[in-house]
Amino acid sequence: MSRADLARALRLNRSSSGNIIANLLNHGLVREVEDGEFNPTGRAGRPGILLELVGEAVSFLGVEIGVEHIAVVELDFAGKAVRTVQQPFDGQVRDPGLAVEQAVKLALNTLPTGRRDRCEGLGIATPSQMDMHGRIRLTPLLGWRDVDLAAIVRESLPAPWPVMVENEANAFAIGAVHGRGVGRHGVTLLVNMECGLGGGILVAGQLLRGGNGLAGEIGHLRLGLEAGPEGPILERRIGLGQLIADYRSQSGRPHAKLADLIRDVGDRVPEAVAVADDWARTLAFALSQACRIIDPDTIVLGGSVAGLHSLVATRVLKHLRAITEESFPLPRIEIPDDIGFGAAYGAACMMHQRFLMGGDEWGSSAGI
């Protein structure tokens, strides 16, 4: 982008935009590059000078603490994911302090030592019910209750980095709109599918949190009329734990994993196909209920379990059509490429956006 282009984009005069550019140059956030194709006069001679972001100038870390894994993403100043790493995690630890200790250690090991002083923040995403201030009310799958996660993270860091915390499905939604431009128009439902099922709702690019910060909790849709908190809910039916339990039971393989199921569905192994079809039917039922409430144009599925959808997409669509009145249009269903890093990527995007905006545009303000 040229200086003139930037001034027009910012709607500033040349002097004001020049001061901003000089400040960015002095801080090493942008640099000048020659563009041989850019010559505003149209005459031969000196090439034009453009400005570009210095990607390596600063870093932003995003971490997802899941039930079975911890994922880390590093973004550069240009918003590009430059490093991703994932390691197994035992969600039965039940101690948020120990979970944070492991997560921070992995994040620091991901970030080269020479870049730690350039880190401008760490975002944390967990499958938690949070209040509007980012405090965890409850994390059923991890056994956490009433936790100030940002404070625990802050105490574990080697430097006073900014910290933000977010529900993992909302983080997935934030990453989709901020990093990929998904959901900038219309209504988009994003479903993060791991051991639990979390949902985030984007309306014209803005995250819909609801009155208490709990909008989009699709995994807690009731599947029956049984009373009490232990009644049947969606995530207990098609989340990773139940999905694998069903396949182990059907196949007689007590140590089968998700990758085994996905491979066997692709190979048309009868037991795997039966489990996948039941999963597709239940997913279609749940999505149809969500569609009746929020009427999304697009549904985006993420998380490791979403890898199964590509193999049964036609079955999901068939079941959706069977239970949807003709007067209701069906939404598009999309799967991002990096299904295993969506929440961590979104957590890093929160910090990137915060740095650019100078505030807490995304995520909770806890820890800022």
The proportion of the chain whose per-residue pLDDT surpasses 90, expressed as a percent, equals 58
Predicted pLDDT of residue 337: 78
Q: Which helix (H) or strand (E) holds 73?
A: strand 69-76
Q: In what order do the strands lie in the sheet with 119-126?
A: 81-88, 69-76, 59-65, 119-126, 163-167
- Tens digit of pLDDT for each residue in 270-287? 999 999 999 999 999 999
Count other Cβ atoms within 10 Å, centred on residue 106: 20
Percent with pLDDT over 70 in the chain: 92
Whether residues 164 and 187 fall in one domain: no
**Is 213 among the domain residues?**
yes
For 47, other C-beta atoms within 10 Å of its C-beta total: 12
Shared domain for 254 and 315, answered yes or no, is yes
Q: What is the CATH number of the domain that holds 78?
A: 3.30.420.40
Judge whether 72 and 86 are in contact, CB under 8 Å. yes
**Largest alpha-carbon pair distance within the chain?**
79
Range(s) of the domain holding residue 27: 3-53
Number of domains observed in the structure of the chain: 3
pLDDT-wise least confident of 174-183, 306-315, 340-349: 174-183
pLDDT digits (tens, 9 = 90+) for 21-75: 887 888 778 888 877 554 455 555 555 788 888 878 899 999 999 998 999 999 9
Q: How many CB atoms lie within 10 A of CB 301?
A: 27
Q: Is residue 362 part of a domain?
A: no
Q: Is residue 364 part of a domain?
A: no
Q: Mark whether 46 and 67 lie in a shared domain.
A: no
Task: Check residue 154 and give its pLDDT.
Answer: 94
CA distance 209 to 361: 13
Considering the domain architecture, whether residues 196 and 304 belong to the same structural domain is answered as yes
Would you say residue 368 lies in a domain?
no
pLDDT of residue 49: 81
The residues, any chain, with a CB within 8 Å of residue 332's CB and separated by 6 or more, are 297, 298, 299
DSSP H or E run through 7: helix 3-10
Tell me if residue 362 falls in helix, strand or coil. coil
Residue pLDDT, tens place only, 136-189:
999 988 999 999 999 999 999 988 999 999 999 999 999 999 888 888 899 999
Of the two residues 72 and 367, the one the predictor is more confident about is: 72
Burial class of residue 317 (count of CB atoms within 10 Å of its CB; 0-12, 13-18, 19+): middle
Higher pLDDT, 4 or 46: 4
Instruction: Tell which wins on pLDDT, 126 or 17.
Output: 126
On whether both 276 and 193 belong to a single domain, the answer is yes
> 9 or 293: whose pLDDT is higher?
293
Q: Residues 171, 343: contact at Cβ < 8 Å?
A: yes
Length of the chain equals: 368
The pLDDT assigned to 361 comes to 46
Q: What angle do CA 294, 300, 304 make, to 5 degrees?
A: 130
pLDDT at 15 over 80: no
In a domain, 295, yes or no: yes
Let me know whether 163 and 274 are in one domain: no
| pLDDT averaged over every residue in the chain | 87
Query: What is the pLDDT, as a whole number, of residue 368?
Result: 32
- Chain-centroid distance of CA 78 in Å reads 18
User: Same domain, yes or no, for 111 and 217?
Assistant: no
Pick the most confident of 63-67, 116-120, 323-327: 63-67
Same domain, 127 and 210: no
User: Which of 130-139, 178-187, 308-317 has maximum average pLDDT?
Assistant: 308-317
CA nearest to 363, candidates 58, 153, 103, 82: 153
Residue 333 is predicted with a pLDDT of 94
| CA atoms of 148 and 321, how far apart (whole Å) | 44
- Residue 8 makes CB contacts below 8 A (sequence gap 6+) with none
Predicted local confidence at residue 251, as pLDDT: 93
Alpha-carbon distance 206 to 353, whole Å?
14
* Burial letters 181-217, b for 16+ CB under 10 A, else e: ebbeeebbbbbbbbbbbbbbbbeeeebbbeeebebbb
Whether 101 and 192 share a structural domain: no
Q: Residue 356 has what pLDDT?
A: 86
> Quick one: how far is CA 277 from the chain centroid?
27
For residue 60 the two structure tokens come to: 């932003």
